[in-house]
Amino acid sequence: MCLAVPGQVKDIFDAGGTRMGRVNFGGITKEVCLAYLPDIGVGDYTIVHVGFAISKIDEESAQKTLRMFHDLGILEEELGGAP
Amino acid sequence: MKYLNEFRDGDTAQKLFREIARVTTKPWALMEVCGGQTHSIIRNGIDQLLPDGIELIHGPGCPVCVTPLEMIDKALAIAAKPGVIFCSFGDMLRVPGSEKDLFRIKSEGADVRIVYSPLDALKIARENPDRQVVFFGIGFETTAPANAMAVSLAAKDNLDNFSVLISHVLVPPAMEAIMTSPINRVQAFLAAGHVCSVMGYWQYPALAERYGVPVVITGFEPLDVLDGIRRAVMQLEAGTHEVENAYGRVVNFEGNKPAQEMLRRVFEVTNRMWRGIGMIPSSGWRLNEEYRYYDAEYKFEVNGIVTKESSLCRSGEVLQGAIKPTACPAFGTVCTPRSPLGATMVSSEGACAAYYNYGRFVNIVDMATA
Amino acid sequence: MSWTCPLPLRDYPNIVLGHGGGGTLSAELVANLFLPAFRNVAIESLGDSAVLRVPAGRLAFSTDSYVVRPLFFPGGCIGDLAINGTVNDLAMSGAKPLYLSVGFIIEEGLPMSTLGEIVEAMRAAAEKAGVQIVTGDTKVVEKGHGDGCYINTAGIGIIPEGREVGPGRAKPSDAIIVSGTIGDHGMAVMSVREGLEFDTIIESDSAALNGLVEAIFGASGEIHVLRDPTRGGLASSLNEIASQSNVGMALHEHRLPVKPDVQAACELLGMDPIYVANEGKLVAIVSQSAAESVLRAMRGHSMGRDAEIIGTVVTERPGMVTAKTKIGGTRVIPMQIGEQLPRIC
């Protein structure tokens, strides 16, 4: 369930009182409703489900996770423990 | 695509597989709740490469699969009415009702349209003021804010030709139902990451405590799923039952407040039938009194629906994780994606469809060593 | 598109039933629209049949009908699809395409300018592919039928001696080569359909492949199978070939070439590019020893710049196509059931 795809907010505009934006997904731009993320700004990353941005991506957390993956098993390799 | 491709890296996946193997000393049964996670697991072959003792039980997190048969039949009845434009997500088109499905109704002349977002359905309503436009609002908590917004905007503009057929289902009651089932084997949960991005995960500590199960909020890309499994196994090995957030880039404890505010405004809790499972109390949302005008069930009196389910279909047991699709005698024989008996074979993330489409009717070991 | 309406047709801004009736209106349409576009001796003789002299040899003969909706999409229209599609079908048998017929079924009320643009696109595509449209037919159906315009094209070509290609000829250890990025056409069409609009232009890859096919045969004589994966995408074509040749296929997912924006569009809609239609790509199954030289020849041709070897034909599991996933697992790629639908879940 819940196919939600990450994209970057390119611009923000108002459509009849509703906060909308153009979000860039790896080269594809689509109009997205930003009403549920009142604090999101241009340049921020968000995940989008059925045309709605539902969460701002915490880039620091993402980098931390990737760093953690990178460090996984390093100690073990150093000790010669990897299979 | 940024924040997507990095979480599909093959080398890191191998590292995570090794890490999981390293920390596993006993057999464990984990359930991934969300159908999107099931899809990712089967499609990428994650289950093939896990150590032998780790079993992934596929959960009922496929809103398409669990939409009650009666609701499908209501959708078909409404879609067949002259003048109606029936809008739906693509997933629902081939889900079998008692007799037909939306695809068949469409080929018989009904105006059934696939939309990407409920806002597209709203747009169609504005552009066709002389037609009644109905949107099939299925989904978990992830999709509910979108559906709520469509209703809210329709109400704001006093649209008289737009309504929604709501069949929302909630995850935490389903997890409870699984834990209290006599056939339950689940020892840890990989919780649905995108549902939690809306709702937060404040509902889970009580569940983890009550049933003594670790709950790891997990994403959908291969590395996210593997990390979720890794953390769940580490907890199981250590004997802890905490709630852990492995999807921090998207999920936080409180969730999305503006979305939750809208949900409170538009919906109310109701009992729901889950196809294949049965009634789970307080496990669904419906439009509340204030928005009843936009509720298609009231607008179009569709009563007297008599449902008929195939007796061969065992999707309920599949949805509860009691059996794997391959254990069902109808799997791959009488029941295929071309001629599905039940919803788990139709939805691309129903376990049966995933198994069939990614070839799990072939021996897994045989495939993994090829 | 640059098409200006010729004088006699200007009285009729829209197609009427009479244009398909065989009388004056039909004749005017042929004389003022079709003949000037498809200029050649055969068609200008206006006989009931085109009379042609063809070289001796094996004749390849193909037909296809085009019902695409919408009629115009980024990168092309029904017109060039209709020409390129049949040219490509002929080329996939190893033939050099020569002559095409074209049959129109037009809905009453179609703007003349729309038909004009479609015909212009056909003219341009035929010229580019080096084929002639030598005979045709036009029928007009009542408003409400025909979806604007349906086109059928049929074509003939000659297969030079020594070329033996066919879907039943794949052999274990053969290399599977795709000529370029997959999924472009299907996502281009999807991108303009109601309810699924994107703001960015994904272009269809509609193109004639006969030139590329000549380049392939120029590189090697060990070409076993050629196929252009249209509806159902690469997955369907490979499954059909695996079945007809009674072999298995083992692909490597990370080697499949996909344009980033096509990939992004597929991600958004929950679709898999391997099932999405192409209109300017081919898959070549060639003997292992010829693979490198064929790949080089393909990449040296404008239609094959992004060619990749994506897998191998195997003896195991005949009829089945499998792929090694990016993370090291194995997935089966079955035949598609019906049309791939966008999903939210």
Quote the tokens at residue C283. Answer: 């898959």
Residue B18 is predicted with a pLDDT of 95
Name the domain count of chain C.
2
* Cα–Cα dist C93/C62, whole Å: 10
Q: Residue C169 domain-assigned?
A: no
Q: How confident is the model at residue B369 (pLDDT cuts 50, 70, 90)?
A: very low
Chain C residues within an 8 Å CB radius of A22: 199
Is the same domain home to C143 and C267? no
Quote the tokens at residue C84. Answer: 């390129």
Q: Which residue has the higher pLDDT, B170 or B64?
A: B170
Q: How confident is the model at residue C183 (pLDDT cuts 50, 70, 90)?
A: very high
Residue B361 is predicted with a pLDDT of 65
- Flag whether pLDDT at B118 surpasses 80: yes
CB contact under 8 A, C267 and B120: no
Domains of chain A, earliest start first: 5-78 (2.30.30.140)
CATH at residue C198: 3.90.650.10
Q: Residue C250 domain-assigned?
A: yes
Q: Are C247 and C171 in contact (CB under 8 A)?
A: yes
Is the same domain home to C154 and C299? no
Is the same domain home to C43 and C75? yes
pLDDT digits (tens, 9 = 90+) for B256-303: 999 999 999 999 999 998 887 889 999 999 999 999 999 999 999 887
Is the same domain home to C322 and C214? yes
B186 to each of B25, B182, B212, B236, B323, how far by Cα in Å?
A: 18, 11, 11, 12, 13
- Flag whether pLDDT at C123 surpasses 70: yes
Is the same domain home to C202 and C117? no
Residue B316 is predicted with a pLDDT of 81
Q: Which of C125, C159, C193 is the last residue of a domain?
A: C159
Q: Residue C338 domain-assigned?
A: no
**Bridge-partner residues for B139, per DSSP?**
B168
Q: What is the pairing mode between strands B243-245 and B215-218?
A: parallel
Is the same domain home to C231 and C309? yes
Q: Residue C337 domain-assigned?
A: no
Quote the tokens at residue C188. Answer: 């281009």
Q: Residue C98 domain-assigned?
A: yes
Phi then psi for residue C15, to 5 deg, are: -70, 135
Q: How confident is the model at residue B365 (pLDDT cuts 50, 70, 90)?
A: very low
Is the same domain home to C139 and C188? no
CA distance B208 to chain C (A): 26
Instruction: Say yes or no: B45 contacts chain C, CB-CB below 8 A.
Output: yes
Q: How confident is the model at residue A77 (pLDDT cuts 50, 70, 90)?
A: low
Residue B115 is predicted with a pLDDT of 92
- Flag whether pLDDT at C120 surpasses 60: yes
Residue B367 is predicted with a pLDDT of 42
Chain A residues within an 8 Å CB radius of B193: 2
Q: Residue C341 domain-assigned?
A: no
Chain A residues within an 8 Å CB radius of B63: 1
Nearest to C343 among B222, B348, B370 (CB): B348
Is the same domain home to C213 and C93? no
CATH at residue C101: 3.30.1330.10
- Helix, strand, or coil (residue B121): helix
Helices (H), chain B: 10-23, 35-44, 46-49, 63-66, 69-79, 102-107, 118-127, 144-156, 171-180, 193-199, 204-211, 222-238, 257-266, 296-299, 315-319, 351-357, 364-368
Q: Which domain holds residue C115?
A: 7-159
Quote the tokens at residue C56. Answer: 């001796």
CB contact under 8 A, A30 and C345: no
Eight-state DSSP code of residue B261? H
CA distance C345 to chain A (A): 4
CA-based nearest residue in chain A for residue B63: A1
Q: Which residue has the higher pLDDT, B347 or C72?
A: C72
Q: Residue C165 domain-assigned?
A: no
* Cα–Cα dist B293/B160, whole Å: 9
Residue B366 is predicted with a pLDDT of 42
Nearest to B2 among A17, A45, A73 (CB): A45
Is the same domain home to C153 and C117? yes
- Flag whether pLDDT at B358 surpasses 80: no
Q: Which residue has the higher pLDDT, C12 or A8?
A: A8
Q: How confident is the model at residue B159 (pLDDT cuts 50, 70, 90)?
A: very high
Residue B275 is predicted with a pLDDT of 84
pLDDT digits (tens, 9 = 90+) for C198-243: 778 899 999 999 999 999 999 999 999 999 999 899 999 999 999 9
Q: Are B163 and B144 in contact (CB under 8 A)?
A: no
Instruction: Compute chain C's Rg from CA coordinates.
Output: 21
pLDDT digits (tens, 9 = 90+) for C251-269: 999 999 999 999 999 998 8
Q: Which residue has the higher pLDDT, B356 or C101?
A: C101
Is the same domain home to C133 and C37? yes
Q: Residue C261 domain-assigned?
A: yes
Quote the tokens at residue C226. Answer: 């050629």
Is the same domain home to C196 and C153? no
pLDDT digits (tens, 9 = 90+) for C288-319: 999 999 999 999 999 999 999 999 999 999 99
Is the same domain home to C191 and C90? no
- Flag whether pLDDT at B370 surpasses 50: no
- Flag whether pLDDT at B182 surpasses 90: no
What pTM does this model have? 0.90
pLDDT digits (tens, 9 = 90+) for A30-74: 999 999 999 999 999 999 999 999 999 999 999 999 999 999 877
Residue B363 is predicted with a pLDDT of 46
